[in-house]
Structures are given as structure tokens and as C-alpha cells.
Amino acid sequence: MQQPPPTAAMPVKGTSAPKKIRVETTTFPEGLIHMMTAGRATCIVFSDDDLPPEGPDHTRPLYIFVGYSGRQVPSVLLDNGLALNVYHLATAIALGYAPSDFGPSTQTIRVYDSTRREVMGILEIELLIGPTTFVVVFQVLRIPTSFNLFLGRPWIHRAGAIPSSLHQKVKFIHDGQVVVVQFVGDMFISA
């Protein structure tokens, strides 16, 4: 015996639902999510449309620019493999800090080459990432690097950010909108 079709779902009391939504047959699931949440972001997705021009055929790490005190700081590495945020000593000096400006630290960490390094101190600074200002706590290290700043899991988790080295961008939600920050050649783009 065939069951009758289920009763149509009704909107929750105090809310409304559109009577009809026109959807093209070529719409991807990400597009449906966007239609249903227009005006307020609730999720972050990456698709093939987010890939850099060369597609997935690269092994580049994810670098972005950030703003600090009216200046752009290039070569900011994002990677969720590190359990701290690192401020390179040379960058701190170039941006006007002296070791006497650092907060105290007794931490010793093991760096990428498995050597132990003492943290020289702690800096808490405001960074402009896309349209959003974040207060970030950094450990200052004197190490040879390919970056000026390293944003690791503390910033990534606090911002609710999703970095993708494959797509060469990071996304996070700010004021109900998905913010996309990417590095393209010599340009920094925030959408």
C-alpha cells in the first residue's frame, strides 16, 4: 500500500518562507545555500570556482597581506599546522618595535628544523585582515623564515577562518557576510 505524500513543512511561527523560489537547473549546491541564507552567512564553502587560474596544479603555501598601523605587511603565512602565531624579529624591528616592547615569555618552542628556540617575548597587536580588525597575540622569534608573520591555529580558530592553500585564499564570516581574502600575484584582494 502506497503512503500518502508527507505534509508540507510549515515555517516556524513568527517567520516566513517564500512561496516560490526559481532555481536554474545548473545551480550548484553552494548556490542553493547562498539563496537560502542571502543576507546572513552561515557557512563557508570552497568550490572549483575558487581555484587559482592554474587550477589545483601547484604546491604553494598560503600567503596574504595584512594591514598594520596604516601599512601593508606582505608575506603573512597562514597555516593551521602551527599552534601559535609567530612574529619574526626582523619584522618587529622594521615596524618600529624594540625588544623592550615585548611582553615577557618563558616559552621555548621546537621550530620547523626540530631545534629548540626561546621565545623572545610576546606582542599583542591589531591587524586588519580584509575589512576586519583582529587583536592577535604573537610570539616573537629570531629564526630564518620565508614570512614576516605567521598566523597559526590561535588566529584561525578565533576568527573562525577557513584557510585553503589549494584555493590560495582564506574565508571567514564577519557581520553576517563571508569575507574572502586572497593573494593573487602582486595583489591583495578582499571581497
In a domain, 93, yes or no: yes
CATH number of the domain residue 167 falls in: 2.40.70.10
pTM equals: 0.73
In a domain, 109, yes or no: yes
In a domain, 20, yes or no: no
Residue spans of the chain under pLDDT 70: 1-21, 30-41, 184-191
What local confidence, expressed as pLDDT, does residue 112 receive? 75
What local confidence, expressed as pLDDT, does residue 108 receive? 87
In a domain, 54, yes or no: yes
What local confidence, expressed as pLDDT, does residue 12 receive? 47
Contact 181, 64 (CB under 8 A): yes
In a domain, 106, yes or no: yes
What's the structural domain count of the chain?
1
In a domain, 114, yes or no: yes
What local confidence, expressed as pLDDT, does residue 3 receive? 57
In a domain, 12, yes or no: no
Contact 67, 126 (CB under 8 A): no
Q: How many helices (H) and strands (E) does the chain have?
A: 3, 12
How do beta strands 121-129 and 132-141 pair? antiparallel
Task: Tell me the residue range of the domain where 166 lies.
Answer: 48-190
In a domain, 39, yes or no: no
What local confidence, expressed as pLDDT, does residue 39 receive? 58
Contact 120, 105 (CB under 8 A): yes
What local confidence, expressed as pLDDT, does residue 38 receive? 55
Contact 97, 123 (CB under 8 A): yes
What local confidence, expressed as pLDDT, does residue 10 receive? 47
What local confidence, expressed as pLDDT, does residue 76 receive? 94
Instruction: Identify which of 158, 160, 141 has the alpha carbon closest to the alpha carbon of residue 149.
Output: 141
C-alpha cell at 97: 618595535
C-alpha cell at 89: 624579529
